[in-house]
Amino acid sequence: MKKIEAIIQPFKLDEVKEALAGIGVDGMTISEVRGHGRQKGHKEVYRGREYTVDLLPKLKIEVVVSDARCDELLKTLAAAARTGKIGDGKIFVYDVAEAIRIRNDDRGEAAL
């Protein structure tokens, strides 16, 4: 099993959700996060003060899938989240040792 963690542009959420639903991935965790990568922040001038936007608002999506589905999901996710510009975000893939459904103790891929 793999855990896929993607940092994406907030406005891309609907597209990403739809694309994932299109390949049958419905379950995901979404959180509002702030951060920066190589895009860094930028500066805005307002009321005479420089207003540094160093941490940009992003969304983090987390999905756990079976190894077999991982590549398809990565392709779909990247295609949906891409604008081609700086700040599109990143995707990280982790190995998952175990998954347990708390309700009935299902284990492994059955718990996904």
Partner 1 sequence: MTPPCKDPILALAERSAGDKLWPAFPSGLTLLAVGGYGRRHLFPYSDVDLLLLVAHSRLAQEAPDAISSFLRTLWDSGLRLSHSVRTPEECAEIHDQNIELNVSLLDQRFLAGDRALYARFAGRLPRFLHAQRDPLMRNLTRLTRERHEKYQNTYYHLEPNIKDTPGGLRDYQLVRWLAQIRNVEAPQTESAFLFLARLRCFLHSRCGRDNNALTFDAQEQAAEYFAAPGTAQWMREYFLHARDLYRAAVREMESSEAQSSSLFAQFKDWRTRLSNADFSVARERVHVRAPHALASDPELALRLFQFVARHGIRLSSETEQRVAAVAPQLAEWFSMPRPVWPALREILSLRYAAEAVRSMHDTGVLRAIFPEMAQIECLVIRDFYHRYTVDEHTLVTLQVVASLRGNREPSIKRYTDLLSEMEEPALLLCALLFHDVGKGSANGAHADASLCAAEPALERIGMPRPERELVNFLILRHLEMSAVMNSRDLQDPATARHMAERVETLERLKALTLMTYADISAVNPAAMTPWRAEVLWQLYLLTYNELTRELETDRIPSAPSESPEKRAFLAGLPMRYARTHTAEQIDAHLLLDGLFRQRGVAVSLEKVEAAWRLTLVTGDRPFLFASVAGTLSSFGMNILKAEAFSNSQGTVLDTFTFADPTRTLELNPTEIDRLRVTVERVVLGRQDVRQLLQNRPKPALPSRNSQVPPTVSFNPEASDSATLIEIVAQDRPGLLYDLAAAISAEGCNIEVVLIDTEAHKAIDVFYVTAAGRKPESAQLEKLRDALRRACGG
Which residue ranges make up the site for partner 1 (CB under 8 A)? Answer: 9-11, 13-14, 32-34, 42, 44-49, 51, 53, 57, 83, 85, 87
Spacing of C-alpha 25 from chain mean position:
13
Taking the least distance from each CB to partner 1, the nearer of 16 and 64 is 16
Which CB, 51 or 94, lies closer to partner 1?
A: 51
**Residue found by looking up tokens 């959420």 in the block:** 13
The CB-of-58 to partner 1 minimum distance in angstroms stands at: 9
Q: Which helix (H) or strand (E) holds 53?
A: strand 49-53
Question: Residue type at 43?
Answer: K
- The nearest distance, CB 52 to partner 1, in angstroms, is 11
Burial class of 39 by CB neighbour count within 10 A (0 to 12, 13 to 18, 19+):
middle
Contact 18, 26 (CB under 8 A): no
Instruction: For the CB of residue 6, give the shortest distance to partner 1 in the complex, in Å.
Output: 17
Minimum CB separation from partner 1 for residue 87, in Å?
Answer: 6
> Which is nearer to partner 1, 38 or 85 (by Cβ)?
85
